[in-house]
């Protein structure tokens, strides 16, 4: 009864209160929020609102929190999820004993907050983060907070996981339906195994695992990594286990939500320009993310048919490997393993770590101690570093069948891959080595045959060298077979290459590079290679060439195409590179259908990769290389769409700190050349930076700088982009196939960086280390000056009218490209 009195008493006060400040973010014990009055709490920054609402088509009333400034009430939290109020009688208040209660019809309690602590004068406040807190009057301890009781939405600053000290679990649960916010089947939270991981569950069944945290990301969920927009924090110790994200770009609004109908975790960002939520991440992302699809020791590989393969050393249990209903049976060892057998461990890279239910974790052990521990315990099936940071540390061990493994796609940081070592019988390992030996023997024999039969006339005159050469060949093929990291550049014989490329058949031709034809080849052991057959005119002396090759081979970086070897025989000079199945970047970005494959995150990854590769050439390698011909067709893509710069070092390299030079022969490509290089032949690392700026613009817009034609004006891409930029309409440059999923802020940042690289005066352009930093930083960037965009026109003019010697050469070469 006294509640009622309190209500009546305070109602007039409350009325005044809300009339005079409708933006109140808190109420005290004598105030309340009522549905019939339509009163709400609004956070100080106006970002969130608390009040009553009816979801979807339902007429039931719920108390919830939603985005205040975003139309259409996107609800992020609901109080009385399972206990709706059927009319507008709802009242939220802090009752006289200090509890937060929601009263429904006839003043019955529809919901109350679970606070154990009580305070005399408590205040209910809606914070800017969207957190509703009950706190003591003097700023201070929270008695209760809504972030500890999440609904289906994960907001910035909200910890997902456990407070082990008080046994509190924060887990997301989806709404049953858009009309009903009561807890649905789908939930998402931490499982407290030794080696904890996040698990999405349907009821009590596992549905999707994140895999354990490896120091940088969750092994099966590399998507949840820090970006320019937000960063992540993972904590796991005796008192807490949680995962949290925080906004770096405070102006962006993003939320993650568990979606019952799609059975997905989805991350959305609010796009103000379009007035809509745009989804840019969802998990599970593909078939292979389905929990335990392939059974024990099965390895799920997207793109294989069937997707369920066995880990090497294992075979399918079921013969019907094509039948999805049989996949769950998984795989068994080729040879049974008992505790008496001699064993070893096979290393596997790029796998999602298996289910950690039965795992053990020791964060202080080294990989070696881990191996010994696992070796000496017959029930230990596999081990790995638990943390891949700083070269790896910690020990995780598995004691039961390994389940829910998959082959991961490209990670941003493939250098940090977490390897797992799986117990194998020694006999199995021996067999594998034997197979390797066999391959080598076959190669040796094949080469011997080729030398013996096909090249008799050739060999006779070089008999003295033959033995040395064959030995070289064998060495070389072993090198490739074993993926040796040795810096010695192997020599390939002409015969090997002729066989590999089907005698340079035109079917094997991949294209024409700046310095000759490129062929695809397959070595006898199955390795694919790309052979660049240098045109005679482009070769200097033999010794000079060899030196050059040795130098190029020393440049090793994951964003540079790797040189595998070379060949000089007779008139032929060739370079052998690793083969890139996805060919070059230009075949994607300028092709309407293939461009769709390159979503924003892939493009951004490509941009960062190119920048890192170039930085390495400019500053980090011992040699200081200026590429001089950076363009989309010189950026190759590996099977995971990682960019690799090719044709570097083909132009002259420099030692020491010489960063500028002058040249008589201008190499490079029309449309990518810096003005000072094209006109004066003056080149520096800054001319590469200019080319990078053009390339960046092309990746963002999907349009070629050269051949970019707008019907109305005769502007090139740079000028067109600059005009849009000046008119504050940068988004119109966005490649059409990026429109749906692009992260606007990253896009605009990249565009700005591009303009900084394109500035007329090379002193103004940033160097590559600044570019890399700018790509990854959140701080504001300088304002670019007008780019050098009319270079194309000036060049063609000078070629026709006056013809100073350098320009003539320039233009001839340019046109030839
Ligand atoms: C506000 O709500 C209370 C309780 O539901 C009611 O008594 C009062 O008349 C309402 N005031 C207004 C202005 O609607
Ligand atoms: C609401 O009802 C209409 C008409 O029955 C239906 O088309 C619509 O899908 C419903 N919306 C939701 C969210 O259930
Ligand atoms: C306040 O609400 C709590 C929780 O519903 C209840 O246990 C308590 O009795 C209420 N106090 C008063 C004075 O009504
Ligand atoms: C509320 O009180 C009215 C009248 O006393 C009664 O008819 C109704 O059933 C009550 N409703 C609830 C939900 O208790
Ligand atoms: C409140 O706490 C009790 C016991 O600690 C728990 O069983 C219950 O689920 C909690 N209620 C809510 C809404 O969290
Ligand atoms: C657990 O980690 C949190 C966050 O880093 C820290 O504040 C807390 O002191 C740690 N607790 C223990 C027992 O190490
Ligand atoms: C994440 O970003 C927030 C906001 O910029 C910052 O306060 C916090 O220290 C960052 N956390 C980590 C782990 O970098
Ligand atoms: C669930 O996903 C569908 C399709 O993407 C979307 O229309 C719907 O709004 C989502 N629901 C929630 C709660 O986000
Ligand atoms: C972890 O390993 C170290 C070194 O082997 C050992 O001293 C320590 O007791 C182990 N910790 C646990 C929790 O097993
Ligand atoms: C092997 O490890 C398991 C799991 O930790 C343990 O239960 C068992 O006692 C160990 N066996 C031996 C021989 O150490």
276-291, pLDDT tens digit by residue? 888 878 899 888 999 9
Alpha carbons 773 and 770: distance in angstroms, whole number = 5
| Of residues 170, 114, 166, 164, the one with CA closest to residue 143 | 114
The sign of the torsion formed by the CA atoms of 617, 618, 623, 628 equals positive
Which two three-digit tokens encode residue 722?
């600059």
Could you tell me the distance, in angstroms and rounded to a whole number, from the CA of residue 29 to the centre of ligand 3?
Answer: 13
Alpha carbons 725 and 715: distance in angstroms, whole number = 14
Please tell me the residue having the least CA distance from ligand 1 atom 4: 34
Say if residues 546 and 568 touch (Cβ distance below 8 Å): yes
Q: CA of 412: how far to CAs of 227, 389, 723, in Å?
A: 11, 14, 33
Alpha carbons 290 and 303: distance in angstroms, whole number = 15
Mean pLDDT calculated for residue range 390-404: 92
DSSP structural state of residue 625: B
Alpha carbons 552 and 547: distance in angstroms, whole number = 9
Q: Where are the beta strands (DSSP E) in 213-358?
A: 230-236, 240-247, 254-259, 264-271, 276-283, 298-300, 308-310, 314-316, 331-333, 343-348
| Residue-level pLDDT at 178 | 94
Which two three-digit tokens encode residue 198?
């996040």
CB burial readout 732-761, b (16+ within 10 A) else e: ebbbebbeeebbbbbbbbbbbbbbbbbbbe
Alpha carbons 557 and 648: distance in angstroms, whole number = 12
Please return the burial class of 816, using the count of CB atoms within 10 Å of its CB with bins 0-12, 13-18 and 19+: exposed
| Residue-level pLDDT at 692 | 95
Alpha carbons 436 and 445: distance in angstroms, whole number = 14
Could you tell me the distance, in angstroms and rounded to a whole number, from the CA of residue 399 to the centre of ligand 10?
Answer: 9
**Confidence grade of residue 6 (pLDDT, cut at 50, 70, 90):** very low
Q: Fold for 1-149, please state it.
A: Agglutinin, subunit A (2.90.10)
Mean pLDDT calculated for residue range 729-757: 83
Statement: residue 27 has pLDDT above 80: yes
Q: CA of 500: how far to CAs of 443, 497, 515, 517, 619, in Å?
A: 12, 5, 21, 15, 36
Tell me the per-residue pLDDT of 651-670, one tens digit each, with 9 for 90 and over.
Answer: 554 333 344 454 444 556 66
Please tell me the residue having the least CA distance from ligand 5 atom 14: 114
Please indicate whether residue 777, judged by its CB atom, sits closer than 6 Å to ligand 8.
no
Q: CA of 795: how far to CAs of 449, 457, 493, 690, 804, in Å?
A: 55, 52, 44, 17, 12
The CATH homologous superfamily for domain 288-432 is Hepatocyte Growth Factor (3.50.4.10)
| Ligand nearest the Cα atom of residue 249 | 7
| Of residues 699, 705, 653, the one with CA closest to residue 674 | 705
Tell me the per-residue pLDDT of 487-544, one tens digit each, with 9 for 90 and over.
Answer: 467 788 888 888 888 888 888 888 876 667 889 998 877 788 999 887 765 555 666 6
Mean pLDDT calculated for residue range 172-178: 96
3-class SS string, 699-717: HHHCCCCCCCCCCCCCCCH
DSSP structural state of residue 784: P
| Residue-level pLDDT at 735 | 82
Ligand 8 closest atom vs CA 175 = 13
Ligand 5 closest atom vs CA 114 = 1
Mean pLDDT calculated for residue range 722-729: 86
| Of residues 26, 64, 87, the one with CA closest to residue 151 | 64
Active-site position among 477, 629, 688, 735: 629
Alpha carbons 390 and 222: distance in angstroms, whole number = 18
Mean pLDDT calculated for residue range 226-240: 85
Please indicate whether residue 257, judged by its CB atom, sits closer than 6 Å to ligand 8.
yes
Question: DSSP readout, 399-438?
Answer: -S---SEEB----TTGGG---EEEEEEHHHHHHHHHHHHH
Which two three-digit tokens encode residue 734?
């966005």
Alpha carbons 159 and 241: distance in angstroms, whole number = 9
Average pLDDT for the chain: 80
| Residue-level pLDDT at 271 | 76
Ligand 6 closest atom vs CA 238 = 13
Which two three-digit tokens encode residue 563?
């040189």
| Residue-level pLDDT at 652 | 53
Task: Say which range, 151-165, 396-410, 594-608, 801-815, has the weakest mean pLDDT.
Answer: 801-815
Angle between helices 744-757 and 600-615 (to 10 degrees): 30
Strand partners, 356: none
Mean pLDDT calculated for residue range 749-764: 91
Q: How many Cβ atoms are within 10 Å of 379's Cβ, its own excluded?
A: 12
Could you tell me the distance, in angstroms and rounded to a whole number, from the CA of residue 115 to the centre of ligand 5?
Answer: 9
Alpha carbons 378 and 340: distance in angstroms, whole number = 9
Say if strands 230-236 and 240-247 run parallel, antiparallel, or are unpaired. Answer: antiparallel
Residue 80: φ, ψ to 5°: -90, 65
Could you tell me the distance, in angstroms and rounded to a whole number, from the CA of residue 26 to the centre of ligand 1?
Answer: 18
Residue 508: φ, ψ to 5°: -90, -5
Ligand 8 closest atom vs CA 174 = 13
| Of residues 614, 687, 623, the one with CA closest to residue 653 | 623
Please return the burial class of 424, using the count of CB atoms within 10 Å of its CB with bins 0-12, 13-18 and 19+: buried
Residue ranges of the alpha helices (H) in 652-716?
675-680, 685-701
Please indicate whether residue 379, judged by its CB atom, sits closer than 6 Å to ligand 10.
yes
% of residues, the chain, pLDDT over 90: 39
Please tell me the residue having the least CA distance from ligand 3 atom 14: 95
Statement: residue 308 has pLDDT above 50: yes
- Domain 586-801 has what CATH class? mainly alpha
| Residue-level pLDDT at 401 | 94
| Of residues 237, 282, 278, the one with CA closest to residue 254 | 278
Which two three-digit tokens encode residue 401?
């069948």
Alpha carbons 324 and 332: distance in angstroms, whole number = 17
DSSP structural state of residue 320: -
| Residue-level pLDDT at 682 | 72
Mean pLDDT calculated for residue range 691-715: 75
Radius of gyration of the chain (CA): 32
Say if residues 371 and 421 touch (Cβ distance below 8 Å): yes
| Residue-level pLDDT at 290 | 93
| Residue-level pLDDT at 733 | 85
Task: Say which range, 17-21, 144-148, 436-440, 448-452, has the weakest mean pLDDT.
Answer: 17-21
Q: CA of 779: how far to CAs of 408, 450, 697, in Å?
A: 32, 61, 21
What's the angle, vertex CA 150, arms to CA 149 and CA 155, rounded to 5? 130
- Cβ within 8 Å of residue 584, ≥6 positions away: 511, 632, 633, 634, 635, 636, 637, 646
Could you tell me the distance, in angstroms and rounded to a whole number, from the CA of residue 379 to the centre of ligand 10?
Answer: 7
Please indicate whether residue 56, judged by its CB atom, sits closer than 6 Å to ligand 2.
yes
Q: Which CATH number fits domain 480-578: 1.20.120.350, 3.30.300.130, 3.30.200.20, 3.50.50.60?
A: 3.30.200.20
Q: How many Cβ atoms are within 10 Å of 210's Cβ, its own excluded?
A: 27
Q: What residues are in contact with ligand 3 under a 6 Å CB criterion?
A: 3, 95-97, 99, 101, 109, 112
Please indicate whether residue 262, judged by its CB atom, sits closer than 6 Å to ligand 8.
yes
Could you tell me the distance, in angstroms and rounded to a whole number, from the CA of residue 402 to the centre of ligand 9?
Answer: 24
Alpha carbons 153 and 266: distance in angstroms, whole number = 10
| Residue-level pLDDT at 811 | 28
% of residues, the chain, pLDDT over 70: 78
**Confidence grade of residue 53 (pLDDT, cut at 50, 70, 90):** very high
- Cβ within 8 Å of residue 420, ≥6 positions away: 347, 348, 351, 353, 354, 382, 383, 384
Say if residues 583 and 636 touch (Cβ distance below 8 Å): yes
Please indicate whether residue 566, judged by its CB atom, sits closer than 6 Å to ligand 5.
no
Q: CA of 127: how far to CAs of 43, 155, 464, in Å?
A: 5, 12, 85
Alpha carbons 661 and 421: distance in angstroms, whole number = 51
Give the chain's length. Answer: 817
What's the angle, vertex CA 22, arms to CA 16 and CA 24, rounded to 5? 95
| Residue-level pLDDT at 607 | 95
DSSP helix, strand, coil percent of the chain (3-state; round to 5): 30, 30, 45
Give me the residue spans of the domains in the chain. Answer: 1-149, 150-285, 288-432, 480-578, 586-801
- Cβ within 8 Å of residue 305, ≥6 positions away: none
User: 735 catalytic, yes or no?
Assistant: no
Could you tell me the distance, in angstroms and rounded to a whole number, from the CA of residue 239 to the centre of ligand 6?
Answer: 6
**Pocket-testing residue among 4, 60, 105, ligand 4, by greatest number of atoms within 8 A of Cβ:** 105
Alpha carbons 254 and 278: distance in angstroms, whole number = 9
Say if strands 132-136 and 142-145 run parallel, antiparallel, or are unpaired. Answer: antiparallel
CB burial readout 258-281, b (16+ within 10 A) else e: bbbeebbbbbbbbbeeeeebbebb
| Ligand nearest the Cα atom of residue 231 | 7
- Cβ within 8 Å of residue 339, ≥6 positions away: 378
Angle between helices 805-816 and 791-800 (to 10 degrees): 110
| Residue-level pLDDT at 22 | 56
């Amino acid at each position: 009864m006294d509640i009622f009195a309190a209500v009546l008493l305070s109602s007039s006060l409350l009325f005044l209160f809300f009339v005079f400040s409708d933006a109140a973010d808190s109420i005290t014990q004598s105030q309340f929020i009522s549905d019939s009055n339509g009163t709400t709490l609004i956070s100080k920054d106006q970002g969130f609102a608390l009040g009553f609402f009816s979801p979807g088509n339902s007429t039931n009333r719920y108390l919830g929190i939603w985005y205040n400034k975003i139309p259409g009430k996107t609800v992020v939290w609901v109080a009385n999820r399972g206990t709706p109020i059927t009319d507008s009688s709802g009242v939220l208040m802090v009752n006289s004993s200090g509890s937060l209660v929601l009263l429904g019809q006839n003043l019955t309690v529809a919901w109350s907050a679970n606070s154990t602590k009580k305070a005399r004068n408590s205040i209910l406040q809606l914070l800017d983060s969207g957190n509703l807190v009950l706190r003591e009057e003097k700023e201070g301890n929270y008695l209760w907070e809504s972030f500890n009781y999440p609904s289906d939405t994960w907001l910035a600053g909200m910890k997902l996981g456990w407070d082990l000290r008080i046994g509190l679990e924060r887990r997301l649960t989806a709404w049953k339906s858009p009309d009903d916010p009561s807890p649905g089947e789908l939930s998402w939270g931490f499982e407290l195994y030794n080696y904890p991981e996040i698990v999405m569950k349907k009821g009590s069944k596992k549905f999707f695992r994140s895999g354990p945290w490896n120091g940088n990301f969750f092994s099966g969920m590399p998507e949840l990594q820090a970006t320019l927009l937000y960063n992540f924090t993972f904590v796991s110790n005796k008192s807490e286990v949680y995962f949290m994200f925080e906004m770096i770009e405070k102006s962006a609004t993003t939320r993650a939500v568990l979606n019952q109908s799609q059975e997905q975790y989805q991350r959305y960002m609010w796009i103000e320009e379009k007035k809509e939520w745009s989804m840019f991440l969802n998990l599970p992302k593909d078939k292979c993310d389905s929990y335990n699809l392939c059974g024990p020791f099965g390895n799920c590989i997207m793109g294989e048919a069937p997707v369920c393969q066995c880990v090497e050393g294992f075979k399918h249990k079921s013969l019907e490997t094509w039948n999805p209903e049989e996949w769950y049976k998984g795989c068994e060892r080729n040879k049974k393993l008992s505790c008496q057998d001699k064993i070893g461990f096979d290393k596997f890279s790029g796998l999602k770590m298996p289910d950690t239910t039965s795992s053990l974790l020791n964060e202080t052990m080294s990989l070696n101690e881990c191996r010994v521990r696992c070796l000496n315990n017959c029930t230990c099936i596999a081990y790995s570093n638990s943390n891949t940071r700083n070269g790896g540390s910690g020990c995780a061990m598995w004691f039961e069948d390994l389940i829910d493994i998959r082959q991961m796609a490209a990670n941003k940081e493939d250098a940090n891959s977490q390897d797992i070592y799986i117990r194998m019988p020694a006999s199995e390992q021996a067999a594998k080595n034997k197979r390797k030996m066999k391959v080598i023997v076959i190669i040796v024999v094949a080469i011997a045959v080729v030398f013996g039969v096909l090249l008799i006339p050739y060999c006779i005159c070089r008999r003295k060298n033959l033995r040395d050469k064959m030995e070289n060949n064998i060495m070389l093929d072993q090198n490739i077979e074993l993926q040796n990291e040795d810096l010695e550049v192997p020599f390939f014989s002409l015969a090997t290459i002729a066989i590999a490329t089907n005698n340079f058949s035109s079917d094997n031709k991949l294209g024409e590079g700046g310095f000759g034809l490129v062929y695809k080849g397959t070595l006898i052991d199955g390795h694919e290679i790309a052979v660049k057959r240098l045109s005679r005119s482009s070769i200097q002396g033999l010794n000079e060439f060899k030196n050059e090759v040795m130098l190029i081979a020393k440049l090793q970086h994951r964003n540079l195409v790797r040189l595998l070897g070379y060949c000089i025989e007779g008139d032929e000079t060739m370079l052998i590179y690793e083969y890139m199945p996805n060919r070059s970047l230009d075949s994607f970005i300028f092709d309407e259908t293939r461009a769709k494959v390159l979503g924003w995150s892939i493009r951004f990854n490509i941009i960062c990769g190119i920048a890192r590769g170039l930085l390495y050439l400019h500053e980090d390698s011992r040699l200081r290389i200026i590429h001089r011909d950076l363009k989309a067709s010189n950026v190759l893509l590996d099977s995971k769409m990682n960019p690799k710069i090719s044709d570097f070092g083909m132009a002259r390299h420099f030692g020491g700190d010489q960063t500028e030079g002058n040249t008589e022969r201008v190499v490079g490509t029309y449309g990518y050349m810096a003005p000072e290089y094209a006109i004066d032949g003056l080149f520096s690392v800054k001319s590469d930076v200019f080319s990078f700026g053009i390339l960046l613009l092309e990746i963002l817009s999907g349009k070629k700088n050269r051949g970019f034609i707008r019907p109305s004006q005769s502007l090139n891409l740079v000028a067109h982009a600059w005009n849009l930029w000046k008119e504050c309409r940068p988004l119109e440059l966005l490649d059409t196939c990026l429109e749906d999923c692009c992260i606007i802020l990253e896009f605009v940042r990249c565009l700005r960086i591009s303009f900084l690289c394109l500035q007329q005066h090379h002193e103004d352009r940033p160097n590559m280390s600044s570019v890399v930093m700018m790509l990854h930083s959140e701080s504001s960037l300088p304002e670019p000056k007008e780019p050098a965009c009319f270079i194309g026109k000036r060049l063609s003019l000078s070629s026709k009218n006056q013809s100073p010697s350098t320009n003539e050469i320039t233009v001839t070469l340019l046109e030839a490209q």
